[in-house]
Amino acid sequence: MSFFKLGFGGKKKLGVDIGTHSVKIVEASKEGGRFRLENYGLFELEDVDKNVASKQVPVAYEQDLAWGIKETLKLAKISSVEVVASIPSFSTFATVITMPFLSEQDIAKTIPYEARKYIPLPLSEVVLDWSIVNVTPPDKQPILPEKKEGRGKQASVEVYIAAVSKDETVRYQNIMKQAGLSLRALELENSALIRALVGNDLSPIAVVNIGGRSTSILIVDQGFERISHNYEVGGYEITKSIARSLNVNFKRAEELKKTMGLKSQDSGMVNTAMSSLIDLIVFETKKIIRNYEDAKKTKISRVLLIGGSANMPMFAQYFQEKIGLPISLGNPLARMIFEPRLELIKGELNSTFAVAMGLAMREI
């Protein structure tokens, strides 16, 4: 799924993930049917105001982003210019709808009319895309009480629809153009994350992406996003809580978070400062999982954790104990070839660059 699709001329391409806290860039190529991690780079957005990052973005900020991307490419010695970029989930709308089975041509004609029921903006102001998720044959349809058995049943189709405002697509094109790059496709952040983490696994999975400013809780089923919920607690708030509790500056608090994490020994105050916020993330995750399981009469098989904070000591163990489901850290590098020397920082790369890797893996 992409909001515009153009072919790639070269063998290497870039995945550019512009978050609220940093810009992550991955360069990848394809080798023998598998992707190879060629290079990567990160640009920190240290002084970004939360409202600016998620609402109206001034032209000056776009210029700063473009400059940061150019500098990162130069320092990392990345020469590729063709890009797939992500749009954060708070700037997009996506849902799965069920409709009577039609031919693909008829679905294409019907989608704009159906989308009006779900998308809160006029369709003239958005770029709309869709994909067929699943087709349920007549013999698998539930029999309604008012219908006689075997009568009135017909096949149905689940369709994933996504929309982003045209202004957003233009903004990203401007940023990449100023950075000297060629934007070949624009994709939802969650779609890239699913590609990087889930692959061909069709079972119901929860993905908890703990970003700099917020946490995205995502239910993936049949390989598609079903529910996405943003919770306004992320790594930044956790670090601030440590800084307040221990009366240290932000930099020192960030160091303590990364080195001490949720270890109980010698770090009781650090643990306490973080655990209340993490418990809120756990609570939100459990609520979303329970609601989906009740609505779909299914069970979430496991939870994947991703994002910088997920890599702190004892975080995964703590989360599993609280949520009561199998937990694992997202591992996009499992789907990529990479240099053996990167093995030592594999965990950090997985947690930080997952979206960018998923973008760089996108086939067009």
Better pLDDT: 199 or 359: 359
Helix axes 268-296, 250-259, angle to 10 degrees: 70
Q: Grade residue 307 by pLDDT with cuts at 50, 70 and 90.
A: confident
* HEC letters along 229-255: EEECCCHHHHHHHHHHHHCCCHHHHHH
Sheet containing 215-221, strands listed edge to edge, beginning at the edge strand earlier in sequence: 224-231, 215-221, 205-210, 302-306, 327-329
Quote the pLDDT of residue 80: 92
The arithmetic mean of pLDDT across residues 87-98, rounded, is 83
> pLDDT by residue (tens digit) across 170-224?
999 999 999 999 999 999 989 999 999 998 888 999 999 988 778 889 999 988 8
Task: Check whether 153 has a pLDDT greater than 80.
Answer: no
309 in Cβ contact with 235 (< 8 Å)? yes
Query: Is residue 51 over pLDDT 50?
Result: no
pLDDT reported for residue 49: 45
Is the pLDDT assigned to residue 55 strictly greater than 50? no
Read off the pLDDT of residues 102-135 as tens digits, 9 standing for 90 and up.
888 898 899 998 888 888 888 899 999 888 888 8
Averaged over 216-237, what is the pLDDT?
A: 89
Predicted pLDDT of residue 221: 92
pLDDT at 337: 93
Q: Which whole number is the average pLDDT over 38-46?
A: 87
Residue 10 is predicted with a pLDDT of: 53
Paired tokens of 227: 């529910």
Name the residue ranges covered by the structural domains of the chain: 13-91+165-241+259-360, 93-164
User: Which CA distances in Å does 310 have to 64, 134, 329, 346?
Assistant: 28, 32, 7, 13
Q: What is the pLDDT of residue 197?
A: 93
Confidence of residue 5 (pLDDT cuts 50, 70, 90): low
pLDDT at 52: 40
**13-91+165-241+259-360 fold:** Nucleotidyltransferase; domain 5 (3.30.420)
Question: Topology of 93-164 in CATH?
Answer: Dna Ligase; domain 1 (3.30.1490)
pLDDT reading at 260 higher than 90: no
- Map tokens 């009319």 to a residue: 113
What is the pTM for the complete model shown?
0.82
